[in-house]
Amino acid sequence: MSLNPTHDPAARSWLAAANEAACDFPIQNLPFGVFRRTGSSEAARGGVAIGDAIVDLAALARDAVLTGPAARGAEACAQATLNDFMASGPEVWSALRHALFGLLHQGAEGAGLQAVRACLVPQAAAEMLLPARIGDYTDFYTSIHHALNVGRVIRPDDPLTPNFRWLPIAYHGRASSVVVSGSDFHRPWGQALPPGAPAPVLGPCARLDFELEMGMYVGPGNPRGRPIPLAEAEQHIFGMCLLNDWSARDHQFWEMNPLGPFLGKNFCTSVSPWVVTMEALEPFRVPFERAAGEPQPLAYLDTPANRARGSLDVQLEVVLQSARHRELGLAGDRLCATSFRHQYWSVAQMVSQHTVGGCNLQPGDLLGTGTISGPTHTQCGAIVELSKGGTQKVALPGSGEERSFLLDGDTVILRGWCDRPGAARIGFGQCRGTVLPALASAA
């Protein structure tokens, strides 16, 4: 993929809100999601974010102002999930995005302009839903900084497993508990081994954590038994979102040896509602590089193109808003900020590794990148890292509080955006969720 007119930083929309400096959804972005009007019984359908509005793609498809692959794309987006659109592939994705760019551009005119104006729905009046019917969810573990930080909590003398530097590690998560941003959840029950105790106990999670991640939605799948080569991997990625893999650390650390996460991870995973396409992310490509002394990937996970442009410079932050913050009318305190460019493995390598044994991915499958942490302490993407396993307090200056792990009433907000000289700033919106008290009983 290369830069094209949809990436022009000088392009402007006739919708004024899309031209504001801090807008996540300018005309250069045009992310896809699924919505319906809040409080209505109308059918869910696909839409595209522009400024503070949504282009209703079902309505646009009915108006028949699009032709060819763009029209086929709009028709696929008229459904209650984007799975069929994701399955349609890069030609259709790009055709619809380019057609919408033309209709939303400040130079648009004629019947197409009038049609798209009539299809706008205010974002403030919309209820956002999951973008896809997620058949399978896989969560990777691809930040060496996160792996070292957490490893030092669990295994101080041997923090990094020997396979980490050679393949993108992952586990299969629970698709049924993936929820859209704004869906709150109860503190989970589970089994944990208290320090020094001879036997485990059942109870509400005492070490609840967030994980700053990004998610990838699979586009066209692959037949079972047919691996996806690294050079073709990104043709199978529809786009990316923000993802919070909420984690019950006390349950996780007790249960995961030897088979990996189970109940410590499967009670809730939150995703942002808008999916930013790989085409929109093109201006923010950076080289995939390994630090001096680190081994280079095996041949099947290495291509010149991946080395030249395999990473993405997505800026990310986590804000914690406690109940006390809300009482004081405060937005919360930033806990950390980092960039996706620090990941040890690229998105293409994750897809290729997932299929190397013959696993068949399907349209709408969700892949998490794993926690995104950078090389400094302020770039840690989970509170277990920030608090060094709960041994240190994390200050919340705005409210005067401290945290070792999350408390009931805490709202965690993930934000992501891309911004560099010579390109228009684009954003992912936000991914948020609030911790509710544990239910009275695990039964």
Q: What are phi and psi of 379, to 5 degrees?
A: -105, 15
**DSSP sequence for 80-131:** SSSHHHHHT-HHHHHHHHHHHHHHHBTT--HHHHHHHHHTEEEGGGEEEE-S
In the structure encoding, which two tokens stand for residue 195, read together? Answer: 């320090």
User: For residues 230 and 167, is the Cβ–Cβ distance under 8 A?
Assistant: no
Q: ∠260-370-429 over CA atoms, to 5°? A: 140
Distance separating alpha carbons of residues 394 and 397, to the nearest angstrom? 9
Distance separating alpha carbons of residues 154 and 389, to the nearest angstrom? 9
| Cα separation values, 71 from 57, 62, 78, 93, Å | 10, 10, 11, 11
Distance separating alpha carbons of residues 168 and 164, to the nearest angstrom? 7
Residue 146 annotated to the active site: yes
What angle do the packed helices 90-104 and 68-77 form, to 10 degrees? Answer: 90
Q: ∠272-422-215 over CA atoms, to 5°? A: 20
Distance separating alpha carbons of residues 193 and 266, to the nearest angstrom? 19
Q: Name, in order, each residue with C-beta under 8 angstroms of 105's C-beta and a sequence gap of 6 or more.
A: 11, 12, 13, 14, 27
User: For residues 438 and 36, is the Cβ–Cβ distance under 8 A?
Assistant: no
Beta pairing, strands 276-277 & 269-271 = unpaired
Q: What are phi and psi of 317, to 5 degrees?
A: -145, 155
From 414, 395, 412, 408, select the one nearest 438 (Cα to Cα).
Answer: 408
In the structure encoding, which two tokens stand for residue 228, read together? Answer: 């996806």
Torsion, Cα 19 25 31 32, to 10 degrees, reads -100
The Cβ of residue 52 has, within 10 Å, a number of other Cβ atoms equal to: 17
Marked catalytic residue, from 146, 236, 251, 342: 146
User: For residues 32 and 82, is the Cβ–Cβ distance under 8 A?
Assistant: yes
Torsion, Cα 40 47 17 325, to 10 degrees, reads 60
Active site residues: 146
